[in-house]
Amino acid sequence: MANGKGKPTKEAKAAAKAARKQASKERRSQLWQAFQMQRKEDKLLLPLMIGAVAGLAVVFFLVGLIFGIEWFLLPIGILLGVLAAFIIFGRRVQKTVYGKAEGQAGAGAWALDNLQGGWRVSNAIAGTTQLDAVHRVIGRPGVILVAEGSPQRVKSLLAQEKKKTARLVGDTPIYDIIIGNDEGQVPLSQLQKYLAKLPKNIDTKRMDSIEARLAALGARGGPAMPKGPLPGGAKMKGVQRTMRRR
């Protein structure tokens, strides 16, 4: 609510403050749960995190001794060590989650839903009864078709979808990817990095136009994909958002 002058009332400010406080509490709770889960499975997590804090603190202290400013540099070393510890934690959580997801039906769709950046993702635009699937991603590189499942079956699916897509997007580049660990495939854990390395060929306006054209294809014939192979209910997207805020 706002008063007659357009300024928020005291009640509105209090409600907004309470909402921010609750959101912050939920983020801390989520982060703590992720830490506890990872600590139980990853015996190296605590030693690595503690080592990062202690190591950087010692390095900065020793450098400070040379110039006579050791007590000035020590807090800086500790702060950078804490930051390094959070980075280690985030990467090891990500590695564990992707490791558990790999090879499960729906893992590709789940990974695409967790992409960071301005990607437009349409999951399971084509599929088979064996839960093979082709997903479509629109981004600055153009159109990327991402397949998961049996390579023998998804190759024909990819070819069909590439042909349909080419009719609608003109000279926009179309890339095709098969998720897997064999030669010529992209491992699930490397999918984000692979997409990020593709050349930027189109702008946002062209992306909007392509998305509108491809919407006409609709979600064709693929079976419903699983929600995603999240181990123990862990929500990687939420953890990643929390880590980025830190």
Which letter, b or e, does each residue of 117-149 get, where b requires 16 or more Cβ atoms within 10 Å of its Cβ? eebebbbbbbbbeebbbbbbbbbbbbbbbbbbb
Name the range with the highest mean pLDDT among 74-83, 175-184, 225-234: 74-83
Give the tens place of pLDDT for each residue, 214-238.
887 664 444 444 444 444 444 444 4
Closest residue by Cα to residue 100 from 88, 90, 111: 111
Give the tens place of pLDDT for each residue, 117-171.
889 999 989 888 888 899 999 999 999 999 998 888 889 999 999 999 999 998 9
Give the tens place of pLDDT for each residue, 46-58.
999 999 999 999 9
Neighbours of 205 (CB within 10 A): 8
138 contact partners, CB below 8 Å, separation of at least 6: 119, 120, 144, 207, 210, 211, 214
Q: What is the DSSP letter of 130?
A: T
Helix then strand then coil, % of the chain, to nearest 5: 60, 15, 25
Closest residue by Cα to residue 137 from 75, 192, 72: 192
